[in-house]
């Protein structure tokens, strides 16, 4: 929430609501709208897995696809997805068809 005209105070008619992207753009003028790193990283992983579903993409591949030099803000997202991604190449269930889990 923000004031339309700072000189008029906090009257109800002088207030406006900002969306998350607009608020980020206003507080960080150099950031591009919709530049949420986790969303971009997730989309990059999805696209890279569509090309090669057998192996999870490396951190370097993800950074290059997204176009950033530092993706540390998405470390936990990448770790979570990497842990949850079923590796079809070296899954113990592939080696032993009777194993369940």
> What confidence score (pLDDT) does residue 10 get?
82
CA distance 37 to 73: 7
Which one is predicted more confidently, 9 or 46?
Answer: 46
- 3-state SS, residue 3: strand
CA distance 19 to 1: 9
pLDDT tens, position by position, 14-67 = 888 877 767 767 776 665 555 678 888 999 999 998 888 888 899 999 999 988
pTM of model > 0.85: no
pLDDT tens, position by position, 70-99 = 878 888 889 998 888 776 544 333 444 554
> What confidence score (pLDDT) does residue 53 get?
84
Collect all residues with Cβ–Cβ distance below 8 Å to 54 and sequence separation of at least 6: 87, 88, 89
Q: Where are the domains of the chain?
A: 1-35, 37-93
């Amino acid at each position: 929430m923000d004031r339309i005209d700072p000189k008029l105070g906090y009257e109800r008619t002088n207030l406006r609501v900002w969306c998350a992207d607009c608020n980020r753009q206003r507080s960080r003028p150099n950031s591009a709208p919709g530049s949420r790193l986790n969303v971009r990283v997730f989309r990059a992983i999805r696209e890279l897995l569509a090309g090669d579903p057998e192996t999870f993409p490396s951190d370097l591949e993800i950074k290059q696809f997204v176009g950033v030099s530092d993706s540390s803000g998405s470390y936990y997202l990448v770790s979570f997805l990497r842990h949850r991604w079923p590796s079809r190449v070296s899954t113990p269930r592939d080696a032993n068809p009777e194993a369940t889990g």
